[in-house]
Amino acid sequence: MIEAASKEDLTSIAELNVKAYQEFAARLAPGAWNAMRENLRNVEERAKAAEFLVFRAGGETVGSVAYCPAKNSDPSIFKPGMASVLLLAVHPQHRGRGIAKALTAACIARARNDGAASIGLFTSELMLPAQHIYRSLGFQQDGELPKRHGCRYFRFVLSLAPQSKWAQ
């Protein structure tokens, strides 16, 4: 079940982020995992501009994502009018169940409801399963971002502009 995270959920989201991304630690530039881990734990700061959604199973938070409305998205990465998806995380033991796709779809629905022109996200070259999910939801890679943590990063965008009945 997906629901809005409460302030009490932020600590468990931070822990989940680290568990979900830890598999990439050995493939990052030397020392980069420490910086990345701190960024992943910085949930309270992110919650000032974004809304966290959680997926619970058996009362446990097993997935989370931050939805950032267009007005709050980082302008150095996202274009004006673009909402964003940040920090998508699914506990490794719960992967392959559609949780990441459901959380991303919830962000898309919120962006549509907010009237955003598009929604974007960024992901690294290491996160191929995530890229597959994003593409399956209609996102398209539209550019490469500066390297982070010794990895290539890419921006993916999904246009939310209403399609005319003639374009179908």
Map tokens 């890419």 to a residue: 154
**Tokens for 12?**
């468990």
Q: What is the pLDDT of residues 120-133, one digit of tens each?
A: 999 999 999 999 99
SS3 of 29-42: the string is CCCHHHHHHHHHHC
Q: How far apart are CA 126 and CA 159, in angstroms?
A: 24
Q: What is the pLDDT of residues 48-87, one digit of tens each?
A: 999 999 999 988 999 999 999 999 999 999 998 999 999 9
pLDDT of residue 168: 38
- Cα 13 → chain centroid: 13
Exposed e or buried b for every residue in 138-156, given b needs 16+ CB within 10 A? ebeeeeeeeebbebebbbb
- pTM > 0.75: yes
Q: What is the pLDDT of residues 11-32, one digit of tens each?
A: 999 999 999 999 999 999 999 9
